Amino acid sequence: MTLSTPIKADAAKAIGPLPGGHPAVRIGKVGVLLVNLGTPDGTDFAPMRRYLKEFLSDRRVIEWPRALWYPILYGIVLNTRPQKSGAAYASIWNTERDESPLRTFTRAQADKLAAALGNEDRLVVDWAMRYGNPSIASVADRMIAAGCERIVMFPLYPQYSATTTATVNDKFFEALMKRRYMPAVRTVPSYHDEPVYIEALARSIESHLAGLDHEPEVVIASYHGIPQSYFRRGDPYHCHCMKTSRLLRERLGWDEGRLMTCFQSRFGPEEWLQPYTDKTVEQLARDGVRSIAVFNPGFVSDCLETLEEIAGEAGEIFHEAGGRNFSHIPCLNDSPEGMAVIETLVRRELSGWL
């Protein structure tokens, strides 16, 4: 990434000579900003509490009235959950870099995208987190200071939900609202049915299964859940998930008994999208299914919800209920297949700008 290149000669000529005392400016750049959900800065109580406070205070995530939710959040959740969540994060922490896998993978995706796109004299590729660091506002400021007059902002969520894509858009435009000068912006839409995405998932699954010493009887597509009430109020997320599964099933040539769709990570007393992944995994084992594999098509990168909740916890549930072989299929991450998806969509949105 090149964040401090001076004004190019042709750009300087375009604006003409600057008057005396005018602050230095950089112009003529196009930016690409990759944004993922977020990550704590550490696994101890304080950074976990700070991260959870930002996440669970988001009105897009928790839609309950503040008068009802805040006493629960500040009186119970933020005093009890940081320790539990910190232990979970510690089990999957990238100790070499002292960071979460999500931060590691998102950085790698940005670096590989920059290398693939080239054009370093005009293009700035960077990355941010909706919750935690680096923040969207800080990275947006950095890109504009580097001369980005146009920015493609990419929320890294294949299926649209107000709890993910919309809140990233909110935060990005909120940051721009504080600026005198705003760049032109394009946001990358959801891509749950894009052929390049379906093909990448299919190849990832086929490659993983080919490396196993057994053949799973059932493969589960486990998506992050949302409350049923959000769906009933018009969130298209469930429809997007079901379409992804249908297209993938068609591409693989499987039936609904071989590729199932489930939802994970429910929180609180509300009813969430069903069937629930943990309950399904347990029931399959009790019904005599001995080998299953689970993948997470709603996650661009492996993170707490995939590595700890699925690869760890769901595997334990399956084995304790009588299952024998459990395999977690990694997310696309920064694999060639995963980068093909990101690059294809970014190139399309950059059309006419570079």
pLDDT tens-digit series, residues 199-209: 999 999 999 99
State mean pLDDT over 249-268. 96
Kindly report the CATH class assigned to 195-328: alpha beta
- Checking if the pLDDT of 233 tops 90, the result is yes
Distances, alpha carbon 249 to alpha carbons 192, 196, 263, 306, 328, in Å:
13, 15, 17, 21, 18
11 vs 80, residue with greater confidence: 80
Span 184-199, average pLDDT? 98
Integer angstrom CA distances of residue 187 from 147, 155, 351: 19, 8, 13
Residue 9 pLDDT exceeds 80: no
Give me the DSSP letters along 81-108.
HHHHHHHHHHTT-BTTTTB-HHHHHHHH
Instruction: Tell me which amino acid residue 137 is.
Output: A
Decide if pLDDT at 23 tops 80: no
What pLDDT band is residue 119 in, cutting at 50, 70 and 90? confident
Percentage of the chain surpassing pLDDT 70? 93
Alpha-carbon dihedral sign for residues 288, 292, 297, 300: positive
Answer yes or no: is pLDDT of 228 > 60.
yes
* Cα–Cα dist 263/276, whole Å: 5
Rounded Cα–Cα distance for residues 24 and 163 (Å): 39
Q: What is the pLDDT of residue 120?
A: 79
Q: Is the pLDDT of residue 10 over 90?
A: no
- The token duo for 177 is 């609202």
Q: Provide the pLDDT confidence category of residue 17 given band limits of 50, 70 and 90.
A: low
pLDDT for res 338 = 98
Residue 62's pLDDT band (boundaries 50, 70, 90)? very high
Give residue 16's pLDDT.
56
| Secondary structure in 3-state letters for 172-237 | HHHHHHCCCCCCEEEECCCCCCCHHHHHHHHHHHHHHHHCCCCCCCEEEEEEECCEHHHHHCCCCH
Tokens of 159: 């299926």
Domain with CATH 3.40.50.1400 in the chain: 195-328
User: Running DSSP on this structure, what letter comes out for residue 6?
Assistant: P
Tens digits of residue pLDDT in 63-112: 999 999 999 999 999 999 999 999 999 999 999 999 999 999 999 999 99
Q: Enter the DSSP assignment of 165.
A: I
Which of the four pLDDT bands, split at 50, 70 and 90, describes residue 21? low
Q: Does the pLDDT at position 244 exceed 50? A: yes
Q: What is the model's pLDDT at position 354?
A: 86
Residue 1 is predicted with a pLDDT of 44
Q: What is the mean pLDDT of the chain?
A: 94
Going from the C-alpha of 89 to that of each of 35, 95, 98, 228, 304, the distances in angstroms are 20, 11, 11, 27, 6
Instruction: Quote the pLDDT of residue 268.
Output: 87
8 A C-beta contact, residue 30 and residue 148: yes
Q: Check residue 14 and give its pLDDT.
A: 45
